[in-house]
Structure 1
């Protein structure tokens, strides 16, 4: 099964018995090139520690909070384990013994991720990652927002904007993703209705928001919209 993510957006939620007959939006044509945009943002002080780390381009605020709780961050030479600790403008914040400074220039990259790449900053097994494509092209420290599996292609956002990453990735915001799925065999409308009730995966059930056949394609090509952040999607 091949899968590609086409776009994120807001969709009205439908009842399960309507899914089998509603066609999904057409996916992107797969020819979009990566684009880079930058902007300025002013920091406000004092700033919460997890927000400070995110603005320094290390990771999202949610991940930054985990790093702080693990005792991996120092403020003025002392380990601080409170993510909401208020950092003053002249404080020294260190992670991995490196001084952090909030990025003033925000970078946003929309990458048409090809299959075969890992969505991570660095792979322990030495496999190619999405960062290999951008090596030497961006001076700011950026990171992917969300993830696409190795065998999945499609739209992937990379940025150093911790605020945006938080809004897009945190489960409470329920940001939806649209996928174009190519199967090795066709599915019936009854199959679609069953899938609409939820996909059973290794890490739980993924709620399906919309599903349908891709217009002008066979019944082995589906459009599916969901907001679950489960693995193997």
Structure 2
């Protein structure tokens, strides 16, 4: 029997109209990076260089150098053997620092309106967390909050240290919102926001607020660094406006460029480096 034809059929099945079909990576279907943290047949063992690399301190190649130099200890004993395997419950340290082998993931989602940022899908209702559930095998959590009725950028990660640091930064995070109101925004109210509006007995400093070019006066752009809860909503409540739509288009230097609504992507190395510089 000629088996080569079956391979041709398989290749042909991946075509449509003479072209290969492009897989959709939206709504949680993006490819998952193979973490390869556990050896097949040895569910409790992992190569030491992979363990060290997964902790985030260096690459696997650099880990080999540290291992050969005796900088890595396992349960208090220096290990210099290449290919050495450890158990996940072993205590592994680099120059005295305790390492965590769970790879840190950073996922940026362009959240649709109507989805809560946390909580698993229940009773047929989708959540934003459900959209990124396939992005990592680790448990991801949102950085900060984005209201259910809001859309736009939200960051998910399993890096607890980064979540804590970005949730309460010293100088706030740069955020830009595109806002649609229930009625035209009065120029006098625009000036109040620009000069500093008092909300709950505290002045809110807004870096920039303006009408959106070539759009009705109901549409506003706002740049703000404040970390106060629901502060944008509260600004317009104070002035007697209702927010019809609110979209976070910039968050901590991250943008929606090439990221359609409902889709997610991993952060680039440069984006991650920029976030790590925020105190």
Please give the TM-score of this superposition, normalised by the length of structure 2: 0.44
For structure 2, list consecutive stretches of 5 or more residues without a partner in the other structure. Answer: 1-25, 34-52, 59-89, 93-98, 233-279
Aligned counterpart in structure 1 of residue 150 of structure 2, from 149, 152, 157: 152
Partner of 1:42: 57
State whether residues 121 and 143 of structure 1, in contact with CA within 8 Å, keep that contact through their aligned partners in structure 2: no
State whether residues 190 and 210 of structure 2, in contact with CA within 8 Å, keep that contact through their aligned partners in structure 1: yes
1 or 2, which has the higher strand percentage? 1
Cα distance in 2 for residues equivalent to 1:144 and 1:115: 16
1:150 deviates by 0.8
Matches within 5 A, 1:5-154: 40=54, 41-42=56-57, 90=91, 102-121=100-119, 128-154=126-152
Partner of 1:67: none
What is the alpha-carbon root mean square deviation over aligned residues? 3.6
Cα distance in 2 for residues equivalent to 1:139 and 1:205: 43
Equivalent pairs, count: 147
1 or 2, which has the higher helix percentage? 2
For structure 1, list consecutive stretches of 5 or more residues without a partner in the other structure. Answer: 1-32, 44-88, 92-100
Secondary structure of the 1:191 match is: helix
Change beyond 3 A, Cα 1:126–1:201: farther
Secondary structure of the 1:135 match is: coil
State whether residues 207 and 228 of structure 1, in contact with CA within 8 Å, keep that contact through their aligned partners in structure 2: yes
Partner of 2:176: 178
Write out per-residue CA displacement over residues 138-189 of structure 1, whole angstroms, 9 at most, x where no aligned residue.
2111111111111000011101223433442223132121100011211132
Please give the TM-score of this superposition, normalised by the length of structure 1: 0.51
1:216 deviates by 2.0
Partner of 2:221: 223
Secondary structure of the 1:106 match is: coil
